[in-house]
């Protein structure tokens, strides 16, 4: 059977097509295993033509990672006009919807080896930093007390949320509603307890209760 010829596309359209194919293939393989030969075949072009649109395999990998990370960041960017609670819920809902809808790709790319991959680690880290800033913004919008530990707590909540979303059983009744509520509770409790060390210090200074009758 003769090979199917690729439709003629503008350079920007072809580049976007190749990146989209690469992202979709990450549901089946890791970034290291992503084959430019296979990408080119799916697009109906030669491998040599693929490198007409990308300077190198590394450049292609970075373009794939950047596209996925940009889409993830956009999905978790709430409308700034929302009230504080609605803003926080929109952020959490966007996080849950994006990761649960693309769980395999998320595991392969954002959560997996790509996070430390030499071709993509900086892009993944920049995306994590963007999300951490949004967690900090949500804490500020809710009127919670500021803390020098806030950035660390934001990262901790993201790690917690990532683990919950990638492991939550999605097919149970009301699973996503329960997951969003679970993450919201964790958000409020974790980021609202950053002023607790002072209270703990007061407890340490209190006299010990005597056990004598």
Q: For position 139, what pLDDT does the model report?
A: 93
| 186 neighbors 138 (Cβ within 8 angstroms) | no
Pair (70, 115) in one structural domain:
yes
| pLDDT above 90: residue 6 | no
Pair (79, 124) in one structural domain:
yes
Could you tell me if residue 128 is inside a domain?
A: yes
Rg (CA), the chain: 23
Could you tell me if residue 213 is inside a domain?
A: no
Q: For position 7, what pLDDT does the model report?
A: 63
195 band by pLDDT with thresholds 50, 70 and 90: low
Could you tell me if residue 174 is inside a domain?
A: yes
Q: What's the N-to-C CA distance of the chain in angstroms?
A: 94
Chain segment 39-70, per-residue pLDDT in tens: 999 999 999 999 999 999 999 999 999 999 99
Q: What is the DSSP letter of 85?
A: H
Chain segment 148-167, per-residue pLDDT in tens: 889 999 999 999 999 999 88
Pair (49, 96) in one structural domain:
no
| pLDDT above 90: residue 193 | no
Dist CA 139 CA 193 (whole Å): 11
Pair (151, 119) in one structural domain:
yes
| pLDDT above 50: residue 88 | yes
Range of the structural domain that residue 131 is part of = 65-194
Q: In terms of Cα–Cα distance, which of 92, 77, 210 is closest to 162?
A: 92
Pair (39, 120) in one structural domain:
no
Average pLDDT, the chain: 86
Pair (165, 95) in one structural domain:
yes
**Residue 78 CB partners (closer than 8 Å, separation 6+):** 86, 87, 90, 91, 94, 134
User: For the residues 106-127, what does the mean pLDDT come to?
Assistant: 76
């Amino acid at each position: 059977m003769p090979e199917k010829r690729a439709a003629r596309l503008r350079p920007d359209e072809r580049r976007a097509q190749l990146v989209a194919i690469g992202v979709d293939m990450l549901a089946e393989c890791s970034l290291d295993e992503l084959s430019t030969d296979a990408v080119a075949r799916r697009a109906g072009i030669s491998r040599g033509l693929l490198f007409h649109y990308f300077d190198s395999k590394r450049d292609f990998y970075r373009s794939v990672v950047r596209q996925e990370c940009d889409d993830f960041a956009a999905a978790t960017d709430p409308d700034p006009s929302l009230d504080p609670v609605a803003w926080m819920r929109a952020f959490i809902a966007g996080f849950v919807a994006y990761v649960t809808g693309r769980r395999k790709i998320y595991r392969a790319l954002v959560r997996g080896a790509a996070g430390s991959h030499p071709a993509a680690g900086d892009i993944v880290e920049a995306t994590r930093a963007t999300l951490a800033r949004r967690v900090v913004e949500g804490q500020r919008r809710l009127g919670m007390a500021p803390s020098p530990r806030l950035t660390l707590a934001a990262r901790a909540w993201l790690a917690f949320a990532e683990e919950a979303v990638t492991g939550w059983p999605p097919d149970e009744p009301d699973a996503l509603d329960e997951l969003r509520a679970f993450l919201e509770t964790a958000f409020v409790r974790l980021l609202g307890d950053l002023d607790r060390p002072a209270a703990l210090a007061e407890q340490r200074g209190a006299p010990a209760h005597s056990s004598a009758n």
